[in-house]
Amino acid sequence: MKHIPDGFREVTKDEFFAALAADKRDIMPTTEARTWTPWRVQTTREMWGWVSTGYASPYGTPKAYAIKT
């Protein structure tokens, strides 16, 4: 089950990566969460995006993408 964090809006995979490409800051995925992936701005550690699967997500977990509003 997905839970989009407060202050984020769900987008498609294509919208997520288009917004990432348009943002000139250094934004990278992190491994700080096991079942979801926070994408953070490297200089400030601000969470920029969220993906519903992480490195320890159960197989078959549907992906959801969200970006900070």
pLDDT at 68: 97
The confidence score (pLDDT) of residue 1 equals 47
Q: Are 68 and 4 in contact (CB under 8 A)?
A: no
3 state DSSP class of 44: coil
Q: Do residues 20 and 39 lie in contact, with contact meaning Cβ atoms separated by under 8 Å?
A: yes
**22-54 pLDDT per residue, tens:** 999 999 999 999 989 999 999 999 999 999 988
Q: What is the pTM of this model?
A: 0.88
47-56 long-range contacts, Cβ below 8 Å, gap at least 24? 47/5, 48/20, 48/23, 49/8, 49/16, 49/19, 49/20, 50/4, 50/5, 50/8, 51/16, 52/2, 55/31
